[in-house]
Each structure stands twice: as C-alpha cells, then as structure tokens.
Amino acid sequence: MRVTITVDGTTYEDEVEPRTLLVHHLRNQLGKVGTVIGCDTSNCGACTVMMNGHSVKSCSVLAVQADGADITTVEGLARDGELHPVQEAFRDNHGLQCGYCTPGMIMSTIDLLAQNPSPDEHAVREGLEGNLCRCTGYQNIVRAALDAAQRLQADESPRLERTGSQTRTDSSQTMQETGGAR
C-alpha cells in the first residue's frame, strides 16, 4: 500500500505492508532510530511520537493509519543545532539514566505541556503515567518537565511548526543510496 507521511518536515512516499507498525516504518524505512522500540504492546511509551500535534505510541499505530499525517520524532525537535527547550531541560536536570525511555518521555512531555503549560508535580506525574522508566525514581524526569514548562513559557516561538517541507519519494531507495539505516 502506498502512503505519504511527513516526518520531521520531510514528506516521504513509500510502499508499506498494511500490517507494518509506524515505529517499524520510522526506524527501518526512514532511519528515524531515535524512536525506540520498548515493548511493542503500548505499555512503556518509549516509542512516543507526535502525530498531527498529539502524542501517540507509534507501536500502536499502523503506518497506513499515518497516511497523510505530520509526524514529529525526537530527532525533529532540534532546530539549527539548538535543542528544543524540553530536550535542554531533560539534559540539564539529568532526566534520564540509561536513556532508553528518554525520547518517549520528551515527546510525552511536549504533549503534556501543550495541554497544560503550567503543571504542578502531580499533573506531570499523571500526564507521564503512560511512560515507564525502569532506571530512575522519576524525580529528575518530573523536575525536567517542570523546568521545561518554565522554559517554554519564557520562549514565545512555536516549537513544532515546520516550514519548507521537502518531498522525497521512495525513501527506501533514498536510504539505500545514501547508506542510511535499513
């Protein structure tokens, strides 16, 4: 089945099997390996991406369901070499330990803060409850999310808008030609 999906500002047209999960399409066909596979059952949230402005667990979405969608992965957050304020807050507050859950935590935090720009600790914990971290006690993750809220309030520029999208057809061929991940 042919799908057209915009990922991190670039439009890709690809043939996908109807049963291909979005997470596998992102990683295997588009080389977006920052989106990690944690459980394949939607329990851990490690594979969270933004789809049309809302967080989704990409292991629970088929690639064909994302046809026509605008996807933002953790790799698409930085602009001009500068980290997104949520990424900065996670780095500065050591909101990670092994780092495996971090991409999903960051993407879920962005969605949480879009819905509630001034959360308290309870709201952060409740908003991130669909994301599991097996290494930390969540203290630094919560601290990072609260810090990110303050940073985003101070930063008036919209952080997930994409302009000047490029179009690429048959990304698997493009990935092979450039030696990208397959």
The 10s digit of each residue's pLDDT in 38-72 is 887 889 999 999 999 999 999 999 999 999 999 99
Listed in sequence order, the residues at least 6 apart from 18 whose beta carbon sits closer than 8 Å to its beta carbon are 1, 62, 64
Read off the pLDDT band of 155 (50, 70, 90).
confident
Whether the per-residue pLDDT at 89 is higher than 50: the answer is: yes
Residue pair 6/71 in contact by the 8 Å Cβ criterion: yes
pLDDT > 70 fraction of the chain, expressed in percent and rounded: 85
pLDDT of residue 40: 76
Listed in sequence order, the residues at least 6 apart from 156 whose beta carbon sits closer than 8 Å to its beta carbon are none
Count of C-beta atoms within a 10 Å radius of residue 126: 13
Mean per-residue pLDDT for 110-124?
97
Whether the per-residue pLDDT at 176 is higher than 80: the answer is: no
| pTM for the whole structure | 0.85
For residues 117 and 148, give the distance between their C-alpha atoms in angstroms, rounded to a whole number: 9
Read off the pLDDT band of 136 (50, 70, 90).
confident
Pick the residue with more confidence: 172 or 119? Answer: 119
Whether the per-residue pLDDT at 146 is higher than 60: the answer is: yes
